[in-house]
Each structure stands twice: as C-alpha cells, then as structure tokens.
Amino acid sequence: MKKLLNYIEDLLIVLGSLFVMIATFFLSFVAGLYVIGVFFILFGIYFSLNPPSTHEKRG
C-alpha cells in the first residue's frame, strides 16, 4: 500500500487523462485523436523534465 501512495499523483493524472480521452472519443473520433496527440506531447515533456528513474521515494 505504501508503494502505491508513492505514485498516487501520477496514477490520478493518468486516470484523469484517460477519462478525458474516452469522453472526447464519444464526442468525435477526430477530436479524440487530437486529444491523444496533445496528451502524448504533454506526457513526453513531463517525463523529459522528471524522468521516472529520479522519482523521489517518500516514506
């Protein structure tokens, strides 16, 4: 359980993004593809600035 709490913010960001993508696909397929592209770009920038190997361990 403690290991999960170390990464809870990352998990919530990914789940939130997933739900936004699914909702956008319900609206329009093309809009869903644009949203996925934007999220990939944002996640790429995030992980280039904060590599997973340097993620600080709490607890």
**DSSP type of residue 7:** T
Calculate mean pLDDT across residues 20-36: 94
The Cα–Cα gap between 31 and 38 comes to: 11
pLDDT of residue 22: 94
Percent of the chain with pLDDT over 70: 88
The Cα–Cα gap between 28 and 1 comes to: 38
User: Is the Cβ–Cβ distance between 58 and 6 less than 8 Å?
Assistant: yes
Domain boundaries, the chain: 2-51
